[in-house]
């Protein structure tokens, strides 16, 4: 058998062309040096083993550092960064200092640049372009083809070294030798597992009560290896050969024992103020309870003083007498304390009996009084006092935040019983106009989807400021991906999470998103989070927000909270578009510093509104129990009634009470049943009047019948009451279950799909019936159809909390088709009024609303444009500001005609919009449910959102557009488009109600009917340059162009 010549039977060896100073020493795997060495290291570039870096002007100077080596650690590794550069550095790795079993005396090594393989840059100032996947570390070589490279060299000459590493031996020293005296072996220990003798038992450790300490004491021994206790702590052990105790010995022979103990002690041994006493506070609004107590709630004290110390301000008139602020007021809250006779805002003990706690009431001062220090002095014995240092003082400062910046206070006394449904509105407030310095320069800003939960107050936390972010929150903050966080939340369903909350991201960062969720008893907290995009790892959110009001101890009717950016602590970036730079180790969640500054304005506002509450079986039981207690007489009578003098001495009783109303069945106008009256018997075991034997009050019943038939039945009135209460409770539970079943069945997509289909078909039937109707009832018939369509659209929007986004769009599309069909039929069948213009005008208002063109307006000018007398709008105006609100515009066909130098504001939803013969005008338009027609317009700025756009014979117009289909231009020139960027207060509601698809915008995709070349852009329209766009239209609502 033969093997052919080739790998691995062939080895090619080449001459090393490097200079001696370019080659590092070979590794020595058997260094026999015993002593230690101290080296000096220097270079000509950057940091070497804590060597000081170089500035620009000192690149040629050396830097120094010193380090030590020994027999085990005889290699050195050094790295020096090059700045600026993509990812280049100088360095040497695993440089051998042990040469021929002796320390290297001196050596100089040339340093050449290396590529870390993490960035694709090719020159010193290349932009950050991350290499993915990351490449291996490699030498930077000369290039003969890339002229942009700083290492370009046509003749491929050798690269000059960037620095020199000079290593010099300073001195050697003998190793630290520790002589360890062998520990005596316990003769009773096993021969194969020797141990040292047991140590003496430690002192008894435990709590001292009544001069007796009960606790534990312990002792230990060590496993021996070659007579040395290797597991005993030794500061020099790192210089010794590391020995190991056999696992068998560790398992079968313990080295630590503990036993119970009891010993004598004195109470004075445990009198430690730092361990025993603490001051706590429970703050509610401006009222607070100050509690001074022993930490173990057992140790006692006999005397105390609690007082207030106010803050002060400098006095410019007399610096030696500062101006003292107001500390509020402190008063006693129990009979254990009293106010000091001579000192204001000070309370002291009322007596010297031992006590374990005492409380006081503190009323906080008004605003602008800065901080107040509450302090105490405690007397354990007449001669043992503790001053107000450490835990006996607490400084409380005024919260400078506004009301909407502070989350609701936690409520440990919540008394809610029923479930609650809330509507969550996430209102974005972030825009270029409001956050000029904290807005991404690219302009592509938005929030991610909103995810959260309603949960309990003890075991679940979405995030906590001051703690590290979870993996799910890290994924959300860095990538805007909610999947990981949703999975983490869903793991708590059924245990500590009540409802998972998910809302689609707002279309724009200054628009809103809406969701609904449920909360219940024990699940009164809310947590949500949404990412800021783009950003390194910034997000908005709220964690553990209380939904139970501290004022009423019931569900809060509404809550408003401003949201500011938070930093997840996983990325080092400080700019919106910073490159990914992982923070290792991860930092705690904190307030985000955007471009080095903390946000002063909120990025969003969270609004919670209570929609309704649901009774639960638990609530029904509580109500029934309360009613039963009242019926059975389980109430307290503070003063016993007087004894009836006619009762016997052996059994004293009260006088009879009045007869109660007759209870029974009603037949033929007469109630047949029973009525009762009561009196009380004296308890022979006490000196009070009360019941025997259970509730201290006993009812003596005397029954009187109104019919002989009922008297013979001998039915117990208490049994009847009990059955009636049981029947009522059962009825309540059945009604609650029925309501729950209805709610559960109504709030799912299957039920919604069926209900929506029925309502849509009903509207379609109403539309199909129009041709057969008489002309005089058709207008009112259309009013009914429009009301039904609005109700259907509202039904879809209010069901968004359980509908998927895709289905939501589908249902809104069906509603939109029905609306379009309705408008077409109305155009055809509603009789048009006689052509003509009347002099009817809209009333003038403070917004300078101008005369509008109504349905019966008469034509004052002749024009070739066809005019539809059904249109509503403005005609023939010059140099004016014209405004219309949604109440006037809603679903109407609006026309603007023959206007010059005007600003027209349309804050509402329109059916169609016609712009005819406008010159140098600004049109600010809300959403249009169908089409916008532009004809013969010159030098205008048009801001509109619609389904379709049609432009004819227009010149030099800038259109800020949101259009769901392709817009059409014909016979036009110099048309420029930009994305829709209008804002007014109700714009978001109008966009939702208009059913426009806010996620689909073809503002930069128009069809020119005069340009048929498919591969060449039309010269008649273009995209408006970003620098030339108007970013805010706020000022144009009230002035002319």
| pLDDT value of position 262 | 85
Q: pLDDT tens digits, residue range 146-189? A: 777 787 776 667 788 888 888 888 777 665 444 444 567 888 88
| pLDDT value of position 230 | 65
**Arch. (CATH architecture) of 872-1037:** 3 Solenoid (2.160)
In angstroms, the first-to-last Cα distance of the chain is 98
Q: Which residue has the tokens 């209900």?
A: 755
| pLDDT value of position 469 | 92
- The per-residue DSSP string of 980-1039 comes to -----TTHHHHHHHHT--TT---TT-EEETT---SSS--TTEEEPPGGGS----GGGGSS
More confident residue, 213 or 500: 500
Is residue 118 over pLDDT 60? Answer: yes
Q: pLDDT tens digits, residue range 965-991? A: 888 888 899 999 999 999 888 888 888
Query: CA–CA separation, 39 vs 172, rounded Å?
Result: 9
Q: Which residue has the tokens 């809209």?
A: 842
| pLDDT value of position 668 | 62
Say if domain 271-397 classifies as CATH 3.30.565.10: no
Q: Which residue has the tokens 């006693």?
A: 332
Average of per-residue pLDDT across 996-1013:
83
| pLDDT value of position 2 | 61
| Percent with pLDDT over 90 in the chain | 17
Is residue 4 over pLDDT 60? Answer: no
| pLDDT value of position 281 | 47
Q: Is the peptide bond before 534 cis (omega within 30 degrees of 0)?
A: yes
Lowest pLDDT segment from 849-863, 867-881, 940-954:
849-863
Query: CA–CA separation, 782 vs 819, rounded Å?
Result: 11
CATH of 20-173, one of 2.60.40, 2.60.120, 3.40.50, 3.40.1620: 2.60.40
Q: pLDDT tens digits, residue range 731-754? A: 666 665 665 554 555 667 777 888
| Percent with pLDDT over 70 in the chain | 73
According to the per-residue pLDDT averaged within each range, which of 583-592, 795-804, 855-864 is highest?
583-592
Helix (H, G, I), strand (E, B) or coil at 826: helix
CATH of 403-614, one of 3.40.50.300, 3.40.50.720, 2.60.40.2130, 2.60.40.10: 2.60.40.2130
User: What pTM did the predictor assign?
Assistant: 0.36
Beta carbons of 890 and 909 less than 8 angstroms apart: yes
**Long-range contacts formed by 206-211: CB under 8 A, 24+ apart:** 206/261, 207/270, 208/265, 208/266, 208/267, 208/269, 208/270, 209/298, 211/264, 211/265, 211/266, 211/267
Q: Which residue has the tokens 């449920």?
A: 518
| pLDDT value of position 618 | 67
| pLDDT value of position 889 | 87
Average of per-residue pLDDT across 543-552:
91
Average of per-residue pLDDT across 717-725:
60
| pLDDT value of position 524 | 92
Q: pLDDT tens digits, residue range 373-388? A: 888 888 887 667 777 6
| pLDDT value of position 248 | 77
Is residue 13 over pLDDT 80? Answer: no
- Given this chain, do its domains 749-829 and 872-1037 carry the same CATH topology? no
Report residue 272's pLDDT band, with 50, 70 and 90 as the boundaries: very low
Is residue 690 over pLDDT 50? Answer: no
Is residue 197 over pLDDT 60? Answer: yes
Is residue 821 over pLDDT 60? Answer: yes
According to the per-residue pLDDT averaged within each range, which of 33-42, 320-329, 514-523, 993-1002 is highest?
514-523
Query: CA–CA separation, 536 vs 518, rounded Å?
Result: 33
The domain spans of the chain are 20-173, 271-397, 403-614, 633-663+671-720, 749-829, 872-1037
Is residue 223 over pLDDT 60? Answer: yes
Phi, psi of 887 (to 5 degrees): -60, -30
| pLDDT value of position 607 | 94
Enumerate the β-bridge partners of residue 262: 214
More confident residue, 642 or 489: 489
According to the per-residue pLDDT averaged within each range, which of 211-225, 589-603, 775-789, 907-921 is highest?
907-921
Report residue 454's pLDDT band, with 50, 70 and 90 as the boundaries: very high
- Sign of the torsion formed by the C-alpha atoms of 1024, 1030, 1031 and 1032: negative
More confident residue, 277 or 615: 615
According to the per-residue pLDDT averaged within each range, which of 674-688, 775-789, 854-868 is highest?
775-789
Query: CA–CA separation, 925 vs 962, rounded Å?
Result: 11
Is residue 837 over pLDDT 50? Answer: no
More confident residue, 558 or 891: 558
Lowest pLDDT segment from 339-348, 529-538, 635-644:
635-644
Is residue 628 over pLDDT 70? Answer: no
Strand ranges in 891-1008 using DSSP code E only, listed in sequence order:
892-900, 903-907, 910-919, 922-927, 931-935, 941-946, 948-952, 955-963, 967-970, 973-979, 1006-1008
Half-sphere exposure of residue 285: CA atoms within 13 angstroms, side-chain side: 5
- The per-residue DSSP string of 479-502 comes to H---HHHHHHHHTTBTTTEEEEEE
Report residue 47's pLDDT band, with 50, 70 and 90 as the boundaries: very low
More confident residue, 427 or 123: 427
Is residue 551 over pLDDT 90? Answer: no
Superfamily name and number for 749-829:
Tubulin Binding Cofactor C, N-terminal domain (1.20.58.1250)
Exposed / middle / buried, residue 763 (Cβ in 10 Å: 0-12, 13-18, 19+): buried
Average of per-residue pLDDT across 400-413:
81
Report residue 589's pLDDT band, with 50, 70 and 90 as the boundaries: very high
Burial 224-237 (b: 16+ CB within 10 A, else e): beeebbbbbeeeeb
Average of per-residue pLDDT across 999-1012:
84
Lowest pLDDT segment from 555-564, 706-715, 900-909:
706-715
């Amino acid at each position: 058998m033969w093997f052919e010549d080739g790998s691995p039977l062939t080895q090619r060896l080449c001459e090393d062309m490097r200079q001696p100073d370019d080659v590092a020493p070979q590794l020595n795997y058997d260094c026999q040096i015993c002593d230690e060495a101290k080296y000096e290291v220097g270079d000509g570039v950057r940091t070497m083993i804590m060597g000081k870096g170089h500035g620009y002007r000192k690149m040629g100077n050396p830097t120094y550092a010193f380090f030590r080596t020994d027999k085990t650690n005889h290699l050195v590794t050094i790295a020096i960064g090059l700045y600026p550069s993509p990812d280049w550095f100088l360095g040497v790795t695993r440089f051998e200092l042990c040469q021929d079993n002796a320390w290297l005396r001196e050596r100089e090594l040339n340093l050449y640049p290396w590529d870390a393989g993490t960035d694709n840059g090719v020159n010193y100032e290349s932009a950050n372009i991350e290499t993915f996947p990351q490449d291996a570390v490699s030498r930077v070589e000369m290039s003969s083809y890339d002229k942009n490279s700083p290492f370009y060299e046509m003749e491929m000459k050798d690269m000059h070294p960037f620095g020199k590493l000079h290593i010099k031996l300073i001195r050697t020293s003998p190793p630290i030798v520790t002589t360890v005296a062998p520990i005596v072996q316990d003769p009773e220990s096993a021969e194969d597992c020797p141990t040292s003798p047991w140590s003496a038992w430690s002192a008894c450790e435990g709590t001292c009560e009544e001069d007796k300490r009960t606790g534990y004491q312990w002792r230990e021994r060590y496993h021996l290896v070659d007579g040395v206790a290797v597991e005993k702590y030794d500061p020099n052990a790192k210089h010794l050969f590391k020995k190991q105790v056999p696992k068998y010995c560790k398992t079968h022979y313990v080295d630590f024992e503990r036993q119970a103990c009891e010993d004598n002690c004195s109470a004075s041994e445990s009198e430690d103020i730092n361990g025993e006493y603490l001051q706590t506070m429970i703050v509610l609004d401006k009222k607070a309870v100050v509690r001074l107590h022993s930490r173990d709630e057992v140790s006692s004290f006999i005397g105390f003083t609690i007082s207030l110390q106010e803050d002060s301000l400098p006095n410019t008139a007399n610096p030696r007498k500062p101006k003292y602020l107001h500390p509020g007021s402190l008063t006693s809250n129990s009979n254990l304390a009293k106010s000091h006779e001579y000192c204001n805002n000070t309370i002291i003990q009322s007596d010297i009996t031992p006590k374990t706690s005492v409380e006081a009431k503190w009323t906080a001062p008004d605003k602008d009084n800065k901080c107040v220090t509450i302090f105490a002095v405690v007397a354990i014995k007449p001669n043992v006092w503790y001053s107000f240092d450490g835990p006996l003082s607490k400084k409380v400062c005024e919260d400078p935040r506004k009301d909407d910046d502070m989350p609701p206070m936690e409520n440990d006394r919540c008394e809610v019983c029923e479930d609650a449904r809330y509507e969550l509105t996430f209102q974005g407030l972030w825009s270029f106009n409001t956050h000029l310095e904290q807005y991404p320069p690219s302009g592509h800003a938005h929030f991610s989807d909103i995810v959260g939960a309603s949960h309990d107050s003890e075991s679940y936390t979405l995030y906590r400021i001051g703690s590290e972010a979870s993996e799910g929150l890290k994924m959300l903050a860095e990538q805007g991906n909610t999947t990981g966080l949703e999975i983490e939340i869903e793991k708590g369903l059924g245990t500590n999470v009540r409802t998972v909350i998910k809302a689609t991201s707002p279309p724009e960062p200054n628009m809103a998103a809406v969701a609904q969720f449920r909360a219940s008893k024990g699940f009164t907290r809310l947590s949500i989070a949404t990412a800021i995009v783009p950003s390194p790892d910034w997000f908005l959110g709220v964690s553990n927000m209380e939904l139970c009001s501290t004022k009423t101890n019931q569900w809060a009717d509404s809550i408003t909270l401003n949201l500011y950016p938070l930093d997840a602590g996983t990325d080092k970036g400080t700019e919106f578009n910073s490159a990914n730079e992982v923070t290792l180790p991860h930092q705690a969640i904190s307030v985000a510093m955007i471009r080095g500054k903390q946000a002063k304005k909120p990025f969003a506002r969270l609004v919670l509104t209570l929609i309704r509450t649901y009774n639960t079986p638990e609530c029904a039981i509580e109500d029934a129990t309360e009613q039963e207690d009242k019926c059975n007489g389980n109430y307290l009578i503070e003063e016993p009634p007087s004894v009836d003098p006619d009762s016997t001495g052996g059994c004293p009783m009260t006088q009879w009470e009045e007869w109660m109303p007759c209870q029974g069945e009603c037949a033929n106008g007469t109630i047949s049943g029973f009525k009762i009256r009561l009196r009380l018997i004296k308890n022979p075991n006490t000196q009070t009047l009360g019941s025997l034997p259970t509730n201290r009050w006993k009812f003596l019943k005397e029954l009187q019948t109104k019919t002989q038939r009922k008297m013979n039945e001998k039915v117990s009135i208490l049994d009847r009451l009990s059955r009636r209460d049981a029947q009522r409770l059962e009825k309540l539970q059945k009604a609650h279950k029925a309501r729950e079943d209805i709610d559960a069945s109504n709030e799912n997509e299957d039920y919604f799909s069926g209900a929506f289909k029925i309502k849509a078909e009903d509207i379609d039937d109403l539309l199909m019936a129009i041709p057969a109707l008489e002309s005089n009832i058709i207008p009112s018939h259309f009013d009914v159809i429009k009301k039904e369509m609005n109700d259907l659209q509202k039904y879809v929007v209010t069901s968004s909390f359980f509908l998927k986004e895709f289905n939501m769009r589908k249902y809104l599309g069906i509603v939109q088709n029905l609306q379009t069909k309705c408008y077409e039929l109305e155009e055809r069948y509603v009789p048009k009024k006689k052509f003509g213009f009347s002099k009817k005008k809209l009333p003038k208002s403070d917004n300078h609303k101008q005369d509008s063109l109504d349905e019966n307006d008469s034509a004052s000018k002749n024009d070739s444009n066809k005019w539809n007398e059904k249109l509503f709008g403005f005609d023939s105006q010059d140099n004016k500001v014209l405004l219309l609100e949604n109440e006037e515009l809603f679903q109407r066909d609006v026309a603007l005609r023959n206007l010059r130098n005007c600003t027209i504001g349309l804050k509402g939803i329109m059916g169609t919009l016609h712009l005819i013969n406008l010159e140098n005008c600004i049109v600010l338009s809300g959403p249009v449910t169908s089409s916008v027609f532009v004809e013969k317009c010159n030098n205008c700025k048009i801001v509109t959102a619609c389904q379709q756009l049609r432009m004819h014979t227009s010149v030099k117009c800038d259109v800020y557009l949101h259009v769901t289909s392709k817009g059409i231009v014909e016979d036009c020139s110099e048309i420029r488009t930009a994305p829709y960027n209008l804002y007014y207060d109700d714009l978001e509601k109008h966009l939702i109600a208009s059913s426009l698809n806010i996620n689909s915008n073809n503002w930069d995709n128009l069809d020119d009917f005069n340009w048929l070349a498919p591969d060449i852009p039309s010269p008649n329209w273009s995209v408006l340059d970003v620098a030339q766009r108007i970013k805010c239209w706020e000022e144009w609502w009230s002035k002319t162009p």
